[in-house]
Amino acid sequence: MVITIELTNRQELILKIVQEEGPITGEQIAEKLNLTRATLRPDLSILTMAGYLEARPRVGYYYSGKKGNQLLKEMLNKMTVKDYKAVPVVIKEDTSVYDAIVTMFLEDVGTLYVVKERGTLAGIVSRKDLLKAAIGKQSLQDLPISVIMTRMPNIITCQIDDLLIEAANKLIQYQIDSIPVVKPLDNGEGLEVIGRITKTTIAKAFVELGKEKEV
Amino acid sequence: MVITIELTNRQELILKIVQEEGPITGEQIAEKLNLTRATLRPDLSILTMAGYLEARPRVGYYYSGKKGNQLLKEMLNKMTVKDYKAVPVVIKEDTSVYDAIVTMFLEDVGTLYVVKERGTLAGIVSRKDLLKAAIGKQSLQDLPISVIMTRMPNIITCQIDDLLIEAANKLIQYQIDSIPVVKPLDNGEGLEVIGRITKTTIAKAFVELGKEKEV
């Protein structure tokens, strides 16, 4: 169990002294503060337990350089794609652009995944791709989605054991709205689509962080 | 300064004893653990400082019921719309749907805000709205955006001092992609559009949480 503590002024002062003058013994710190070594014992043990100070026998205390957001990192490192992924909405390669648009409205998603037999990923198509096609000259009923989709291997994917924060980072880095969660097939014949991570997924996870819960 | 500490097994045990049997004195806890009161002193002071235990003179320690994610709450409560908002992309009410689509591609945004004179919010239009119009029968050049936009007062807005987590919550709750950041005009004549918060904004903030920084 990880807990959080607001440091007292005295503890912050001790931290500062050790940062500037460490390694320094407990007795020397006590002397600087005009306090007894016994009075400082709880403060030093808190700072040591928190990982800010390290104690070396016959040398004294020195500053570990640890930063303060370990708890948050710990929480973020527990959030994996597996626990947050949504159900993917898939269409076949020969689906018309018109039918793809209809599917997008019916399923109310921002991105469709295009799959081959056995659910392996062939392409991906966003609202933006469909909008671009819709203002073009071609008949949407006659245009197969495979003509306008982004194809493998140009698709950013993730896997269920990836951290959610890694997936979020890909969404930002590649300026995309959605990442298919895939599972490589045993025979090496492609990537099976098993989920999706979208900016909505990330926004939900962010909101969830603010809800009351035990760490 | 707020720090985090991983509790030792003994501290977790003390917490459990106080939860189950508090109020209980330090001597009684020490007795249960076959330890001296002095040995327990740092443990009790850590648990008290962290706010898990409260000590009442002549009564003993009792459990405060505090949850463990105070640090995270503190961080989230520092993130306001002001520090994260992006620049809004606006069009006029008489813009054609076709020109709106072109603007959306040129500016590479998912939502356009429709404004009246003085930049006051009149409507909002998403990629989804434009896609719906694009597969309709009407000429996109002749159709003004005001016909298809969502109008005030049916627009979810936020203000610069709102918490980012509140804005994120609105995005999820109302299933929208973008929230205009507005400032009420002094004369009560509407809301001036001064920014936008989107799911991209939230995903960026989420990614940022994972970056190393001092709390």
Interface probe for A, chosen from B138, B199, B204 (most Cβ of A below 10 Å), is B199
- CATH number, domain B9-68: 1.10.10.10
Alpha-carbon distance of B194 to B186, in angstroms, equals: 15
Class of domain A77-209: alpha beta
Q: For residue A170, which residues of chain B lie inside 8 Å, CB to CB?
A: none
Assign a CATH topology to domain A9-70.
Arc Repressor Mutant, subunit A (1.10.10)
Same CATH fold assignment for domains B9-68 and B76-209: no
The residue ranges of every structural domain in chain A are 9-70, 77-209
Cβ distance A69 to B213 less than 8 Å, yes or no, reads: yes
pLDDT of A212 above 60: no
Closest CA to B43 of B30, B60, B62: B30
Let me know the angle formed at the C-alpha of A2 by A13 and A207, rounded to the nearest 5 degrees: 105
Interface probe for B, chosen from A11, A69, A98, A200 (most Cβ of B below 10 Å), is A69
Tens digits of residue pLDDT in A8-65: 889 989 999 999 998 999 999 999 999 999 889 888 888 887 778 888 888 899 987 7
Alpha-carbon distance of A25 to A18, in angstroms, equals: 9
Cα separation values, B40 from A158, B9, B14, B17, B32, Å:
48, 13, 9, 13, 11
Cβ(A130)–Cβ(B131) under 8 Å? yes
* ipTM field: 0.73
Alpha-carbon distance of A97 to A104, in angstroms, equals: 10
Q: How far is B166 from chain A (nearest CA, A)?
A: 8
Tens digits of residue pLDDT in B39-88: 898 888 888 877 788 888 888 999 877 655 566 777 788 899 999 999 99
What was the pLDDT predicted at B42?
82
Say if domain B76-209 classifies as CATH 3.30.1330.10. no
What was the pLDDT predicted at B156?
97
β-partners of residue A184 are A191
Q: How far is B40 from chain A (nearest CA, A)?
A: 10
What was the pLDDT predicted at B88?
97
pLDDT of B212 above 70: no
| Contact map slice: B 140-159 vs A, CB within 8 A | 140
Cβ distance B165 to A206 less than 8 Å, yes or no, reads: yes
pLDDT of A88 above 70: yes
What was the pLDDT predicted at A187?
83
What was the pLDDT predicted at A92?
97
What was the pLDDT predicted at B1?
67
Tens digits of residue pLDDT in B83-133: 999 999 999 999 999 999 999 999 999 999 999 988 899 999 999 999 999
Alpha-carbon distance of B209 to A4, in angstroms, equals: 17
A155: which 2 tokens? 């698709």
